[in-house]
Structure 1
Amino acid sequence: MTRFFPAPTRNQSPKSFGTPEPEWLTWLASQTWPQVVFDIDRLVVVAAHPDDEILGAGGLVHTAASQGIEVVTICASDGHATHPGSPEQLANRRHLELDTASMLLGLDLPRWGGLHSGTLQQYPDRLDAMIRNILDARPGARNGLLAVWDHDGESDHEAVGQAAMRIAKPLGIQLWMYPIWLWYWARPGDVNVPWHRVQTVGVSPTVMAVKNAAARSFAEQKRPRTPDDNPQPVLGGSITSHLLRGTEYVFG
C-alpha cells in the first residue's frame, strides 16, 4: 500500500483529494451490483505491498478460504520504503505483520517476491513469473486470480495489476481486482472508473471483526513517517475508513 502522495485522475486538482467516507457510503448504497460468485477451487492472491490484500479484500479472501477454496497469497515487494531507517529491519517487521494478519484470517503464510517497494514497474517479467509459477504448481486446478487494481493510481499497485492481466487473459482465468487508493482520489460516479465491472462481497460482523484484528497487525503503517516531509501515517483515518466497510468492492 506504499504511498508518498495521493494520485489523482487526470481531471482532478490537488484540492479535490480525499473523498469523505459518508459520500461514498451514500452513493454506494444507491447502486446495485452483482455479488462475487466463486466457481474455482484455488485463488491466487497478488499484492504489491504487505497489507494490500488484507485491507483491500480481506473479507473476500476469508470468505473464499471458508468455502474450502485453496488460497495462495504472494506479496511482490518487501515494503521497506514506507519509512526512513534501516530497510532490512523495516522489511522484517512488515513480513511479521503480514504473517500475523494472514494467520488471523485463516490463511497460509504468504509467499514473498523479494522486490523493493517503488520499483515494481521495472520488473514486469519477474512479476509475470511469480504469478505463473504459482499457477503452474497446480496443473488442472480451477484457478482464479485476485490482484490490486491496475489503475489504482500507485505505480507498484498498477504494475501488479498489469501483470495479473497479462497472465489471466491468455489463460482465460477469472480475474478480480481490488482497488485501494481509488477510494481516496476518485469521486462517486467518477467517469474514470469502470463501475460496470464492480462486484461486491458482503462482510459479516464476524468476518469484519477478524479483518479489523488483522488490520491492527500493521503497526508500521500507522506510525508517522518523517516529521518534515510527510508526517502522516500511510494508514491514516480517511483511507482506513474506506477499507474497513461492511462491503468490499472488486472489479470483475
Structure 2
Amino acid sequence: MTVTKGGSFADPIQAPGTPEADWQAWPGWESLPEVSLGSFDRVVVVAAHPDDEVLGFGGAIALLSASGAEVTVVAVTDGEGSHPDSDVISASDLVKVRAAETRAALAELGAADSDVVRLRISDTKVGAYEDEVADQIARLVHDADLVVAPWTSDVHGDHEAAGRAAVRAAKAAGLACWLYPVWMWHWAQPGDLRVPWRSAARILLPPTVLDRKKAAVKRFVSQIAPRARARATHRSCLRRNWRTICATGRWFSGERHTTHTGRQHGGHPRRVLRENVPRHSRPLAPCRALVRAPQVRPHRGEPAPAPLPPRL
C-alpha cells in the first residue's frame, strides 16, 4: 500500500473506499432513466473473471432469461489468480471450482441453460492478449442483439482490457455495448465527475429477482469464504448490499475522455446501467456493506490499476 505525501493513495483500489451510506443517500439515482430488457433475443455478457457477470449484470441476466432471451456468458479468464499463495487450493483446482460456481450461480438466476464460453486467458494478463480476446468475442456476437462487458475505466487492468475488447467486437458487428463497473463503486463518489452519469440508465429489479441475484452471488464460495483474500472481501460486500447495483458507462478512451452525445457507432445507444430494487420494496434497515470493503488489500497477483480517468 502506497500513500502519497498529500495523504491520498497511489492505488485507488487500496484506498479505504466510499461508504455505502453515501451511495444510498445520493439523490442522483432518481434522475437516471430506466432501461427495458424486453426487446433482446440474444445477449452476450463478457466477464473478466468468473463472478463479474453476476455482480455487474446478474439481475439483468435473470430478467433476460425469464423473458426467453438467450444469454451467453464469456469468461475471459478462469480467475485462477485470486489465491496466489493459498495452501488450501491450487490454481488448477481453483479453475474447476470457479467454473462450477459460475454454473451454480447461473442456475440461481434461472439461466442454467446459458452457454458459458471460457477463453482461458491468464488471470491478470488480459491486456497482453486484448487483440486475441477481441477476435474471440467477435466470433461469438455475430447473431447477438447486445454485448455487455466490464467498464473500460473501472481502474482494474483485466476489467478494462476485457471491456475494450468487447467494445471493439461490438463496434465491428454494429451492436450496442453496455459496460458495467465493479471497482468504480469503491474508488468513485456519488456524482463523481470521472463517471459519465449523464449517459447512465438503471434496471429496476423486482424483489424476487433481487433474491435470485443474492443467491447467485452466494454460490461463489471460493471468493467469499473466510480464507478468500481482498477481491473476495470486496465481492462479499457487494453480495450483502441490498441494493445490488449494476452499471455500465459511456465510453472513455484510454487517453482522454470522449465527449460524444451518447450514441454508439452504428447509431446504437451506449448506456450506463444500475440495478436496484423499486423504492417501495426497500428494506427498513439496509446492511452496510457495498464498497467500503477492502480493509484487506488486493492480492499480489492483481494487475496494476490503470490511471483514473481525468476529472472534467
For normalisation by structure 1, the TM-score amounts to 0.84
Match of 1:195 in 2: 197
C-alpha distance in 2 between matches for 1:89 and 1:207: 31
CA gap 1:217/1:28 in 2 versus in 1, 3 angstroms: farther
Instruction: Report the count of equivalent residues.
Output: 235
Question: What secondary structure sits across from 2:202 in the alignment?
Answer: strand
Q: CA deviation at 1:105?
A: 1.0
Match of 2:187 in 1: 185
Question: In the alignment, residue 122 of structure 1 is paired with which amino acid?
Answer: A
Question: In the alignment, residue 65 of structure 2 is paired with which amino acid?
Answer: A
Match of 1:36 in 2: 35
Match of 2:137 in 1: 131
Match of 2:223 in 1: 221
CA gap 1:50/1:27 in 2 versus in 1, 3 angstroms: same
Task: Structure 1: give runs of 5+ residues left out of the alignment.
Answer: 6-10
The root-mean-square deviation of aligned C-alpha atoms, in Å, is: 2.4
C-alpha distance in 1 between matches for 2:51 and 2:151: 14
Q: CA deviation at 1:12?
A: 9.1
Task: Structure 2: give runs of 5+ residues left out of the alignment.
Answer: 250-270, 272-312
Question: In the alignment, residue 79 of structure 2 is paired with which amino acid?
Answer: G
Moved more, 28-37 or 185-194: 28-37
Give the 5 Å matches for 1:85-124.
85=86, 86-107=90-111, 108-124=114-130
Percent identity reads: 34
Q: CA deviation at 1:144?
A: 0.4
Structure with max Cα Rg: 2
CA gap 1:199/1:224 in 2 versus in 1, 3 angstroms: same
C-alpha distance in 2 between matches for 1:28 and 1:238: 22
C-alpha distance in 1 between matches for 2:40 and 2:7: 39
Match of 2:8 in 1: 13
C-alpha distance in 1 between matches for 2:177 and 2:27: 22
For the 8 Å contact 1:224–1:232, the answer to whether it is kept is: no
C-alpha distance in 1 between matches for 2:126 and 2:245: 29
The C-alpha deviation readout for 1:145-166, integer Å capped at 9, x for no partner, is 0111111110000011101111
Give the structure with the higher percent strand.
Answer: 1
For the 8 Å contact 2:36–2:203, the answer to whether it is kept is: no
For the 8 Å contact 1:102–1:109, the answer to whether it is kept is: no
Q: CA deviation at 1:171?
A: 3.0
Give the 5 Å matches for 1:23-102.
23-28=22-27, 31-38=30-37, 39-83=39-83, 84-85=85-86, 86-102=90-106
Q: CA deviation at 1:224?
A: 4.6
Match of 1:8 in 2: none
CA gap 1:232/1:163 in 2 versus in 1, 3 angstroms: closer
C-alpha distance in 2 between matches for 1:120 and 1:65: 28
The C-alpha deviation readout for 1:17-42, integer Å capped at 9, x for no partner, is 31111110111565311112343321
C-alpha distance in 2 between matches for 1:171 and 1:232: 37
Moved more, 12-21 or 42-51: 12-21
CA gap 1:112/1:218 in 2 versus in 1, 3 angstroms: same
Question: In the alignment, residue 63 of structure 2 is paired with which amino acid?
Answer: T
C-alpha distance in 2 between matches for 1:72 and 1:95: 14
Give the 5 Å matches for 1:130-169.
130-136=136-142, 138=143, 143-169=145-171
The C-alpha deviation readout for 1:197-239, integer Å capped at 9, x for no partner, is 211011111011111111110111113558xxxx546234544
Q: CA deviation at 1:195?
A: 0.7
C-alpha distance in 2 between matches for 1:119 and 1:110: 20
Match of 2:281 in 1: none
C-alpha distance in 1 between matches for 2:173 and 2:100: 33
Question: What secondary structure sits across from 1:151 in the alignment?
Answer: coil
For the 8 Å contact 1:128–1:167, the answer to whether it is kept is: yes
CA gap 1:30/1:118 in 2 versus in 1, 3 angstroms: closer
Question: In the alignment, residue 122 of structure 2 is paired with which amino acid?
Answer: H
Question: In the alignment, residue 8 of structure 2 is paired with which amino acid?
Answer: S
The C-alpha deviation readout for 1:31-79, integer Å capped at 9, x for no partner, is 3111123433210110000000101110111111212211111100011
For normalisation by structure 2, the TM-score amounts to 0.69
Question: In the alignment, residue 66 of structure 2 is paired with which amino acid?
Answer: S
